Amino acid sequence: MTDPTGCTRVAVVGYGYWGSKHVRVLSTLPGVEVMVVDADDDRLAEAAAQYPAAERCRSLDYALDRVHAVVVAAPPGSHAELARTALSAGRHTLVEKPLTTSVEDAEDLVDLSRRSGALLMTGHTFEYNPAVWKLKEVVRSGELGRVLYIDAQRLSLGRYQADVDVVWDLAPHDISIVSFLLDEMPSAASVWAKRNLGVRHSDMAYLRLDFETARTHAFVHVSWLNPRKVRTITVIGERKMAVYDDMSDNERIRIYDIGVDPACIDDPSAAHSVPMTYRTGDIVSPFVPFREPLLVQDQHFIDCVRTGAECRTPGERGLDVVRVLSAADRATMLGEPVRVRDFRSHQRCARQPARPTHRDRRAPQDRRGRVAVRGRRRGLRAAPP
């Protein structure tokens, strides 16, 4: 099907917290038409009131014949099934974090994307945040010196989830950010988590992530039970320190020329004290132009759908984060550090060859030229450029 208007049509599955944001952002992009998919009639009525131009339906199966791409923003437990349905139909698919709730499902989606030729992108929104880009620039420049450790806090009151705990709900953001800053996935995870309210899921947790190449650690605190909304990343370097505060209006990045240096003890009477000297300098807040990260991400997704370009956060990126989350689950149960590589499929341990763009792939086809994957494959041409 070729859209006579030349528009790129996108189905957003799930009109909840994140789904409604995707609909808002996509509706502002030129040449994009949005279809809202949700089985809840009240949510469809809300979508109709807020975005009357958006088409609405209750089933992804109904939408697939009418769209070029799909955004999965339903509860995490349904991500694998919905994304599998979209990819099997050859639809380019963006899945909100976490990609899935198991390594096996995430590997299956990555493999299905390769075989179907459809793009699989993971919604790690903070990797599209200009402030995070700036923080990475500062870290890579060496201005901070060697990174001693990174501290991340993601705290707020509420938004308890029914199908995942606080680690799977909030920590994907910080795992994504920290690994993006260091250009490395953690090698091991340790977790202390506790359930304070409810009957099933932990609502606060502390994670320690080890990074072998960078020879450093990240400490992540996540909570659904905190009176203040906190979204900070603090990078402690040997020479300087940097703080990214996502809640700040105008100083989201601050670089502190402060630190602690080892010192020699000249006075024997001071031998009992800690031999350190403390230095204090300027605090600099570099200018970071604001662009809504979700808008940047969704525009990038549409560009990739239209041009066949490789996306910045492909399914493999989401799979890497799911492996860390799965290691965190086991670490919580065992009460000891767990290696992330233990969650890598034996069949996929070998380094994968360079991944072609989704327009360059040559997927197996049946006699009618349709992609031979599980599920249905509907005939819909690529989105117009």
Tens-digit pLDDT profile for residues 265-280: 555 555 556 677 888 8
DSSP 3-state of 376: coil
Q: What is the DSSP letter of 271?
A: T
Residue 384 has pLDDT above 50, yes or no: no
Q: How far apart are CA 271 and CA 260, in angstroms?
A: 18
pLDDT in tens, 113-155: 999 999 999 999 999 999 999 999 999 999 999 999 999 999 9
Q: How far is CA 309 from CA 70, 360, 381, 385, in A?
A: 17, 10, 16, 12
Query: Which residues pair with residue 256 across a beta bridge?
Result: 241, 283
Mean pLDDT of 196-203: 92
Q: 172: buried, middle or exposed (CB in 10 Å: 19+, 13-18, 0-12)?
A: buried
Element (H, E) at 156: strand 147-157
